[in-house]
Structure 1
Amino acid sequence: MARSVYVTGIGRGDGRQVVELGVMELLTRQVDRVGVFRPLVHDGPDRLYDLLRSRYRLGQPAASVFGMGYEEAAALQAESGTDELISRLVDRYHAVADDYEAVLVLGTDFADTGLPAELALNARLANEFGASVIPVVAARDQSPEAVVAEVRNAHHAYASLGTDLIAMVANRVGDPEAADAVRALAERLPEPVFVLPEEPALAAPTVTQIKELMDAEVLLGDAAGLARDVRGLVFGGAHLPAFLPALTEGCMVITPGDRSDLIIGSLAAHSAGSPALAGVLLTLGEHPGEQTLALASRLAPGTPVLAVPDGSMPTADRLLGLEGKLTAATPRKAEIALGLFETHVDTGLLTERLSVVRGERVTPMMFEHELVERSRTARRHIVLPEGQEERVLRAAEVLLRRNICDLTLLGEPAVVRKRAAELGIGLELLGDDELPASGGGAVARIVDPLTSPLRERFAATYAELRAHKGVSYELAHDIVSDVSYFGTLMVQEGLADGMVSGAVHSTAATVRPAFEIIKTKPDADIVSSVFFMCLADRVLVYGDCAVVPDPDAEQLADIAIQSATTAASFGVEPRIAMLSYSTGTSGSGADVDKVRRATELVRERRPDLLTEGPIQYDAAVDPQVAATKLPTSRVAGRATVLVFPDLNTGNNTYKAVQRSAGAVAVGPVLQGLRKPVNDLSRGALVQDIVNTVAITAVQAQGEPAGS
């Protein structure tokens, strides 16, 4: 029977979507098939379910997610009684639970439902579903005494109704004294109570939300600009000198459309980086002239300029109180929400109390979750040379929010900060001499290789390392200003634990400094790479698909041993298949002989590893083919590490499997270096960068921090 978790509340405005998203994250780390059930639903789209479906790739039919509408439920309860309502919802719940290993149940929202005794209804449903319950209590703008009373009352209410309480959450706690009071209360309750603070970035609406609410016309702006958070409203009516000091970071300027001076002045301030605006909203149905709009677009490319027909006061009335929403269209807010949840909830304890037995299958999402969890166990420091690149900045925000690692971004600080602000990215980017805020979370610093005091030190180090190649100090001083060399030297000197680059730089530009400076491990002959190929039900390791063009037998054996070590370090039990166009003794020729010799070398050097070769791909991964071709092999049909005979074969195969089988390819992950440096594809997505940085952080955990 499916394990079921019921997230509910005691009233409106508790922001429990953060908790529902966090619990879904925990469930999907444990099992492959997680269902969602919302017993009662309002008409119209369900934003949270759309987010869950998009983020967690749910294949569940939408019709099975929802029990019935509130109006239908109220009418049924009035006509036939609560028992009949409960009976029908239980039947619909079990239609979902029968098909899934775990089910997340989304409780009623206490908003215009027309149902009496709604808390008791949630408790009854949870009991009938056999679900454990996590009540969420709203604590925004409440005194410590009021918050404690709400938590105590919620606990009593759900406990007295016989529910299986496994935890409670006080959400949106803005008062530190209230947080302390709730923690003191938690010591007297049998279940853990987690305290989530108010997070302004979640409460802030996006420019798109304002556009949709006001049915505004978009005069200027791109998709990234429309995704910015609006952290305040500034109304423009004064003359420009009096108006400019009122601008705040992330604000939206609201001004009549005929005030070209305020429009251009605001965007000029934004262009100067002081401060970065979310956008401009023009009222009264007035549009600036073409010249003004053309100047505005050049001053602040991508920054939204919207127009509405109403005046400033009616516009303000509609906007005040508008809050951000977690939706499929706001993936950045989902990352912020998960970061908040994971920072303030003991996820290990909650997972244990959820009592979900981990499945044997390893899905792509489960592998990604495991990477993030492992990277957080001993947080490392990773340098990102491409600090001004949009995808890198967006990945950096995710990495910091999820507390995956500390970061150094290379680039000119003013340019990096301005770029982050233009993208609406809420990063606290510290300078060399700035101290982080208290809290112990992951931090990011900006270092400019051109002006850093480290440049002289690195120049001396590099000149010494490359003296045999005739590199002078003066030449080294120029070379180490390159971000790839500077980042590599940070790793070499123990100022960072690893480096990830390649979003805009070539593979050669990323790995050449590592070859020159960090060099190979004593037990490695070459630097090679692997991809983690996350299929629907397992993870395979492919090597080498990115670095060594045509390895000889000795190099191929080295690649196999390195790949097996990498696989084991990431929880994949290594069973090595040395691939060829021939299986066993059925073929001959120089290419087959190379693989046969490499297989012998692996067995000689590492007799503890299960190794088979030469072997064809189908015999390596398909048990039925293996039973025919190599029936006695301990690897055939069960291989997890697949070693390709050359780069041409490996690169084409990983891309073919990625595209045709829908596999998630994580990598390339470099192996054989003394310290971890990893390369990105220049087409890497934000999630690819996050995964690669997490892998690098895990690799670095094998070495003492800062070594």
Structure 2
Amino acid sequence: MLVALGLKPENIVAFDREGVIYQGRPSLDPDKARYARDTDKRTLAEIVAGADVFLGLSAGGILKPEMVATMADRPIILALANPTPEIMPEEAKKVRPDCIIATGRSDYPNQVNNAVCFPYIFRGALDAGATGINEAMKTACVRAIAELARMEASDLGSAYGGDVPSFGPDYLIPRPFDPRLLVMLAPAVAQAAMDSGVATRPIADMEAYKEKLGQFIYRTGLIMKPVYDRARSDIKRVVYAEGEEETVLRAVQSVIDYKLAYPILIGRPEVIDMRIQRLGLRMRPGVDFELTNINDDPRFNEYWQQYHAMTERRGVTPDAAKALMRSRTTLIAAMMVKRGEADAMICGLVGRYHKKLGYLRSVFGLDPGVQCTSAMTGVINDKGAWFFLDTHVQLDPSAEQIAEATLQASYRLKLFGIEPKVALLSHSNFGSHDNPSAGKMRKVWEILKARAPKLDMGGEMQADTAWDEALRRRVFPNTTLTGRANLFVLPNLDAANIVYNMVRVMTDGVAIGPILMGVDKPAHILTTASSVRRVVNMTAIAAVDAQIRAARS
């Protein structure tokens, strides 16, 4: 591949288990003979001296630090033996801080992983009906990977953890689960198949093909991969208020397997243990997760006393505080987060949403500058990823409250690597109706235009106008929203909840959320309809929420 991309064969010196491949060495097969060189060098140390690049897929530890010290300036070291590379990155950096190094391991920068290219080569070849995979298709794939590595990662990159990655010594290769790989590599391979004459089903509209691939990403759940990776980068403690529920237990096993968080389960130990055994789960209390015994926790007196001190001016007596803390696992979880014994919490699999929200609000305050809480819920289906606001909290919010929730939701969309495109929905199209509901959504537009002038949004508008850009420009040429909306803001709770649920069930969509916004701690209330996958996804979101808040404090 390197030669195909322009590296001169005469500049390559090869080495195998028998030593340097030199002209005249006996028993060379044709593949090795083409790299035989006229040289008197016979050891790895000799050929590494002065080299610009080391490429190894051999045995762990064979490239010694003293060899690396003799390489050319800014050497590139591709040490790909697994699980132990030819030299560990820290050893190479110690003697040559200027080196650029890649390994096959995921715990170091620049992981060389065939998952970066193979699925997408196959996808592009199959979609174009290629009769084979030729060199042109492979080199096109490599060039697309290189192009992606140079692209600005923006918010998508930050969701992978740490700083936003940018092209350089520690970011030469895209991460294996970068969702953009599919939409960049498969079209490049398909185009090369067409250009080289091996495509039996040429793709007529490449832009439409790319858009279709982008929709496929969302449907397969790859939208969550950046969030998962960031969650793994700094493990947070997530407490589950309904720790005995089977849905929670199955989800927690996946959370442990995926290394998304350290779980804390609230419940009765005997019930949790019995259900773990019955479900055939592998997790172990005290090892894989922490267990808070609701019948016998030494912190109980501290919990109710602290809760009483927080709520005594709201009519909560000591006896009521004791009773609530003993019977409401949501309050126990909230107090654990409040006291720093957990970093985030998940509840809502049992009980009513607004009842749970009331418990949370009795413990947590609001985010700085926020006047009220709100909830956003996403739906992933074959058309893409769509988000709806406010699906669970505010019954009939004011224009100011809707604008505030919209700004919070727009920020959170970027966690998924999605640039928000906001549609303020109404029965009215840009002033076609003059009544309080339409006027409210018009006022939301005015507030957002003043507070976030760069936000891609428009309204008030009907749902089909938000969906269809051509229609929107026909009825209102001066629209401030570009493309198809992905964040739909509704005038009240009825509208938002009805629209979200109809879209989900009628398109066989997968839900993300509800994502609770506005409270000053990472806390999320799910619903009784939540699946295992939804609990896992919300765990990752809660963990990343905790990371972001910790970084700010």
Matched-pair contact (CA < 8 Å) for 2:442–2:459: yes
Per the alignment, residue 218 of structure 2 pairs with 363
Is residue 330–residue 359 contact of structure 2 (8 Å, CA) maintained in 1? yes
CA separation of 1:636/1:194 partners in 2, compared to 1, >3 Å: closer, same or farther?
Answer: closer
- The one-letter code sitting in structure 1 at the alignment partner of 2:411 is T
State whether structure 2 residue 310 is matched by structure 1 residue 465: yes
SS at match of 1:587: coil
Q: Work out whether 1:599 is the aligned partner of 2:510.
A: no
Q: Conserved in 1, the CA contact under 8 Å of 2:365 and 2:520?
A: yes
Which residue pairs with 1:667 in the alignment? Answer: 513
Q: In structure 2, what residue type is equivalent to 1:660?
A: M
CA distance, structure 1, for counterparts of residue 379 and residue 235 of structure 2: 25
Residue 542 (structure 1) aligned to one of 388, 400, 403: 388
Asked if 2 retains the 8 angstrom alpha-carbon contact of 1:579 and 1:614, the reply is: yes
State the match for 1:418 in structure 2.
Answer: 274
Partner of 1:402: 258
Give 1:653 deviation, angstroms.
1.0
Alignment of 1:183-222 (within 5 A): 192=103
What's the offset of the Cα at 1:646?
A: 1.2
The aligned counterpart of 2:536 is 690
1:414–1:673 distance in 2 versus 1, CA, 3 Å: same
Check 1:351–1:607 CA distance in 2 against 1; reply closer, same or farther (3 A cut): closer
The aligned counterpart of 2:26 is none
2: CA distance, partners of 1:575 / 1:351:
26
5 Å-filtered alignment, 1:270-281, equals none
The one-letter code matched in structure 2 to 1:463 is H
Partner of 2:436: 590
Shift in CA distance, 701/193, structure 1 to aligned 2, threshold 3 Å = closer
SS in 2 for 1:565: helix
Runs of 4+ deviating beyond 6 Å:
184-191, 347-350, 353-356
Q: Structure 1 residues 444, 660: CA separation in 2 closer, same or farther (over 3 Å shift)?
A: same
CA contact (8 A) 1:379 1:404 kept: yes
The answer on whether the counterparts of 2:372 and 2:518 sit within 8 Å (CA) in structure 1 is yes
**How far apart in 2 are the matches of 1:376 and 1:629?**
47
- Equivalent position SS for 2:550: coil
- Superposed, 1:335-374 pairs within 5 Å as 357=181, 359=183, 361=214, 362-364=217-219, 365-374=221-230
What SS does the corresponding residue of 1:359 show, helix, strand or coil? helix
Q: What CA deviation, in whole Å up to 9, does each residue of 1:231-289 have, x standing for no partner? A: xxxxxxxxxxxxxxxxxxxxxxxxxxxxxxxxxxxxxxxxxxxxxxxxxxxxxxxxxxx
Q: Secondary structure at the match of 1:494?
A: coil
For residues 354 and 371 of structure 1, the distance between their equivalents in structure 2, rounded to whole angstroms, comes to 11
Q: CA deviation at 1:378?
A: 2.2
2:369 corresponds to 1:514: no
* Separation in structure 2 between the aligned mates of residue 421 and residue 353 of structure 1, nearest angstrom: 35
The answer to whether the 8 Å contact 1:484/1:509 transfers is no
TM-score (norm 1): 0.49
AA at the equivalent of 2:396:
D
* Matched residue count: 384
SS state at 2:331 partner: helix
Give the superposition deviation at 1:385.
1.1
Give the gaps of 5 or more residues in structure 2.
1-28, 32-56, 63-77, 93-100, 108-169, 185-213
Counterpart secondary structure, 2:519: coil
**Alignment RMSD, CA only?**
3.6
User: Does the aligned pair in 1 maintain the 2:177–2:225 contact within 8 Å?
Assistant: no
State the Cα distance separating 1:601 from its structure 2 match: 2.3
- The CA deviation string for residues 488-527 of structure 1, in whole angstroms up to 9 with x for no partner, is 1111112111111122232134222111110322311111
In the TM superposition, residue 477 of structure 1 has moved relative to its aligned partner by 1.9
Q: In the alignment, residue 307 of structure 2 is paired with which amino acid?
A: Y
Offset of residue 680 of structure 1: 1.6
Q: Which moved more, 1:665-674 or 1:367-376?
A: 367-376
Pick aligned residue for 2:419 from 561, 564, 573: 573
Cα–Cα, structure 1 residues 449 and 537, in superposed 2: closer, same or farther, change >3 Å?
A: same
CA distance in 2, matches of 1:357, 1:681: 34
Deviates more, 1:560-569 or 1:675-684: 560-569
Q: Which amino acid aligns with 1:363?
A: Y
Q: Distance in 2 between matches of 1:669 and 1:352?
A: 27
State the one-letter code of the partner of 1:478: A
Question: Structure 1 352/470 Cα, relative in aligned 2: closer, same or farther at 3 Å?
Answer: closer
Equivalent residue of 1:421, what SS? Answer: helix
Q: Which amino acid aligns with 2:259?
A: N
Aligned to 1:26: none
Aligned to 2:480: 634
Closer/same/farther in 2, CA of residues 545 and 354 from structure 1, 3 Å limit: closer
Q: Structure 1 vs Structure 2: percent identity of aligned residues?
A: 25
Give the Cα–Cα distance (whole angstroms) in 2 for the partners of residues 395 and 589 of structure 1.
46
Secondary structure of the structure 1 residue equivalent to 2:403: helix
Change (3 A) 1:685 1:166: farther
TM-score, structure 2 normalization? 0.62
CA separation in 1, counterparts of 2:491 and 2:431? 17
Moved more, 552-561 or 378-387: 552-561
1:638 CA displacement:
3.1
Contact 2:223 2:416 in 1 (8 A): no
Distance 1:465 1:684, change over 3 A: same
CA distance in 2, matches of 1:665, 1:622: 23
1:452 aligned residue = 297
Bigger proportion of residues as strand: 1
Separation of aligned partners in 2, 1:474 and 1:354: 52
Aligned to 1:498: 344
2:500 to 654, 668, 676: 654
Indicate whether 1:375 and 2:223 are aligned: no
How far 1:354 sits from its partner (Å)? 10
Structure 1: gaps of 5 or more residues: 1-119, 124-149, 156-164, 171-181, 197-346, 431-435, 437-442
